[in-house]
């Protein structure tokens, strides 16, 4: 809290826009009430018959209009959520009291490890993880940390790795066809992604997080002699140009240098101020509060400017617009992914892998279906033109994004579709916003959503597209899931994704899960019923349950990483690896191999001679040095092989 910024009172932005809102205050039960809000009253401030407004003026807090939060708040909140205030966990007694319950869990052996949600918000993430290491006796700890391409966790952090967004980004891109890039870009052209995010991040520093920027200005020492207006502008530009979520000084000092150079190039008139700020923010003999708070703020700017704005404005292929991913990176070829997975085995074997979480913008199966569009760019371009003609929205990038979302989740309820459209449009903040909705635009947008359900032509386009991508989407889902579950790392399965789960962004991905249906599916699989690949989702449950069972029962089969190579005309459509006895084979870019171009033909994987069992289907195969994929993939587009012991 910055007590000096508001005359020693905490500003609470809860008042509405009406005249004389403070006159709506009432004293009741020793509290101040403002509609449904209740506020405590300090002892000795309400006993003399004063009015509610007079009592308010005696408190250590000041109720102000909600619109003042973005520029006049004097406490640290969670992004734009006024009711969630930061806790100074870096203070020893605060850490001790706030972690007493967590300590009890470990004292009583109730848990084995912890998942730390976004440590970037902490003043000292490394120090926090060290304290946690001591508190838990060195327990297994993962951090929900978003790494930009080429970025690594600081080596001094006491944790086993991240919660898996980096793995998610790698796996997704294996299933996008690089040949579709140009065609998809032409559907609704937008500026290059990294130019776009400069604008969206700057809008955040000048808007939602301006209070944080102004606090940084107040922390600049007077002897620096920097004009306030120039300092605010330069700090906002430095935050905007920061290439990763944050630094952890002295770790990551190079990112501050990169941001300074980029900011000076973009704003040469501010170059002296930017250079002076860089010196003030650099570690030197120790970190100043300015440096600490700057690091806490840069991650907030990145999160709101990129994940929660640009991801809704960049519609090329929205399966790539995922938390922890860079949408400008369109695909990863098998050779590159093999290298990344081998590095993961060597350097982070206990980090988590994931495909869906509570924060993903689209569930894994929704993304798997959307990725099929990279194999059908011309068909998608034609469909979007027809959809826009039949149900015009008036914002081409948003329309492209919205139709991809509906296709990825189709069929879905009307209520879910409308909720997603409204959130996506307001997050994009191009044609409408949360704080100032454009009613006419939103009317057109909701009319387009209704057309998907009520207009036979629009619905027919979506039905036809869904039919074209459904089988390939299922193939992508099964392949991505098997790769994620068996690759180096500790696999995480988000609840509900044992079946097909075509969720969109929260709260859509937090709907109740029918666990009874999943138990029944397991029972069917245990009875020996071989599942088909259909709407029921038993095929995915088969992959999930069998892969996890093999990891649990035969951990010695998952102790290394070797690429498995293929030969033949469709060799580019197979991705395989050997974990030390467990061999994963997965189909990629399935339209060509599965739907009418000759299939696998004489494509084969190179495997040592021997007899192999597919743990998914129970079928046996004989390799003479190679194994024909047409035989392996007769019933499923994936296989998990183990070799018969001599």
- The 10s digit of each residue's pLDDT in 598-616 is 589 999 999 999 999 999 9
Confidence at 469, pLDDT banded by 50, 70, 90 = very high
- The percent of residues in the chain predicted with pLDDT above 90, rounded, is 94
Confidence at 645, pLDDT banded by 50, 70, 90 = confident
Report the run of H or E that residue 140 belongs to, with start and end: strand 140-143
pLDDT at 286: 82
| Lookup: tokens for 120 | 């970037």
**Is the predicted pLDDT of residue 596 greater than 60, yes or no?**
no
**Is the predicted pLDDT of residue 227 greater than 90, yes or no?**
yes
Residue scoring higher pLDDT (7 or 173): 173
| pLDDT, the chain, mean | 96
pLDDT tens-digit series, residues 96-145: 999 999 999 999 999 999 999 989 999 999 999 999 999 999 999 999 99
Residue scoring higher pLDDT (594 or 8): 8
> What's the predicted TM-score (pTM) here?
0.95
Q: Which domains can be identified in the chain, with CATH numbers?
A: 3-75 (no CATH), 83-163 (no CATH), 193-312 (no CATH), 368-470 (1.10.10), 562-643 (2.60.40)
Nearest to 22 by CA among 33, 8, 6, 31: 33
Q: Decide: 210 and 315 in contact? Cβ < 8 Å.
A: no
Nearest to 4 by CA among 207, 212, 221, 219: 219
pLDDT at 597: 45
Give the DSSP letter of residue 618: -
Q: Decide: 114 and 144 in contact? Cβ < 8 Å.
A: no
Q: How long a stretch of residues is the chain? A: 646
**Is the predicted pLDDT of residue 344 greater than 80, yes or no?**
yes
Of the listed ranges 57-71, 275-289, 363-377, the one predicted with least confidence: 275-289
Confidence at 336, pLDDT banded by 50, 70, 90 = very high
Report the run of H or E that residue 84 belongs to, with start and end: strand 81-85
Inter-CA distances, 98 with 88, 101, 125, 143, 492, Å:
10, 7, 16, 18, 27
What are the start-end ranges of the H helices in 28-185? 52-57, 69-72, 92-98, 100-107, 125-136, 165-174, 181-185
pLDDT tens-digit series, residues 538-592: 999 999 999 999 999 999 999 999 999 999 999 999 999 999 999 999 999 999 8
pLDDT tens-digit series, residues 43-80: 999 988 899 999 999 999 999 999 999 999 999 999 98
């Amino acid at each position: 809290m910055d007590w000096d910024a508001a005359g020693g009172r905490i500003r609470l932005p809860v008042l509405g826009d009406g005249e004389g809102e403070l006159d709506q205050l009432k004293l009741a039960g020793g509290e101040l009430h403002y509609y449904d809000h209740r506020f405590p009253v300090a002892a000795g401030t309400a006993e003399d018959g004063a009015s509610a407004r007079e009592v308010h003026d005696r408190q250590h807090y000041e109720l102000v209009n909600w619109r003042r939060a973005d520029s006049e708040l004097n406490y640290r909140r969670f992004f734009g959520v006024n009711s969630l205030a930061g806790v100074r966990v870096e203070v020893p007694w605060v850490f001790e009291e706030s972690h007493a319950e967590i300590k009890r869990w470990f004292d009583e052996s109730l848990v084995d490890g912890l998942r730390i949600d976004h440590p970037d918000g902490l003043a000292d993430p490394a120090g926090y993880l060290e304290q946690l290491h001591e508190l838990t006796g060195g327990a297994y700890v993962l951090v929900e940390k978003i790494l930009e391409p080429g970025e690594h966790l600081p080596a001094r952090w006491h944790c086993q790795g991240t919660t898996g967004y980096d793995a998610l980004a790698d796996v997704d891109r294996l299933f996008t066809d690089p040949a579709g890039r140009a065609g998809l870009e032409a559907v609704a052209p937008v500026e290059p992604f990294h130019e776009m995010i400069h604008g969206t991040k700057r809008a955040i520093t000048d808007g939602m997080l301006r209070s944080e920027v102004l606090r940084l200005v107040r922390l600049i020492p007077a002897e620096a002699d920097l004009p306030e207006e120039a300092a605010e502008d330069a700090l906002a530009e430095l935050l905007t140009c920061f290439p990763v979520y944050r630094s952890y000084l002295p770790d990551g000092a190079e990112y501050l240098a990169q941001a300074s150079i980029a900011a000076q190039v973009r704003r040469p008139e501010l170059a002296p101020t930017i250079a002076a700020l860089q010196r003030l923010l650099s570690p030197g003999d120790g970190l100043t509060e300015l440096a600490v708070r700057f690091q806490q703020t840069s991650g907030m700017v990145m999160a709101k400017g990129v994940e929660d704005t640009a991801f809704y404005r960049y519609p090329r292929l929205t399966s790539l617009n995922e938390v922890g991913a860079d949408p400008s990176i369109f695909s990863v070829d098998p050779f590159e992914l093999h290298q990344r997975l081998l590095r993961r085995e060597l350097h982070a074997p206990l980090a988590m892998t994931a495909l869906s979480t509570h924060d993903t913008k689209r569930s894994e199966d929704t993304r798997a279906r959307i990725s099929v569009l990279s194999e059908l760019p011309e068909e998608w371009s034609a469909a979007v033109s027809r959809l826009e003609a039949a149900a015009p929205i008036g914002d081409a990038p948003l329309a492209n994004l919205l139709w991809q979302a509906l296709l990825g989740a189709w069929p879905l309820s009307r209520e879910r579709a409308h909720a997603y459209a409204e959130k996506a449009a307001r997050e994009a903040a191009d044609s409408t916003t949360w704080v100032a909705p454009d009613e006419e635009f939103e009317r057109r947008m909701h009319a387009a959503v209704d057309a998907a359900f009520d207009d036979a032509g629009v619905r027919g386009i979506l039905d036809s597209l869904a039919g074209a991508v459904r089988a390939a989407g299922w193939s992508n889902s099964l392949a991505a899931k098997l790769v994620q579950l068996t690759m180096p790392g500790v696999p995480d399965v988000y609840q509900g994704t044992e079946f097909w789960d075509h969720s969109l962004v929260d709260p859509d991905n937090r709907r109740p899960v029918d666990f009874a249906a999943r138990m029944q599916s397991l029972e069917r699989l245990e009875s020996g019923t071989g599942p088909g690949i259909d709407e029921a989702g038993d095929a995915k449950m088969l992959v999930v349950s069998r892969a996890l069972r093999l990891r649990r029962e035969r951990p010695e089969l998952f102790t290394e990483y070797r690429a498995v190579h293929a030969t033949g005309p469709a060799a580019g459509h197979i991705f395989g690896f050997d974990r030390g006895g467990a061999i994963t084979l997965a189909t990629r870019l399935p339209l060509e191999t599965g739907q009418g171009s000759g299939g696998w033909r004489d494509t084969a994987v190179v495997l040592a001679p021997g007899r192999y069992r597919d743990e998914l289907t129970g079928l046996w195969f004989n390799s003479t040095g190679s194994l024909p994929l047409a035989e392996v993939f007769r019933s499923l587009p994936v296989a998990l092989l183990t070799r018969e012991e001599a």
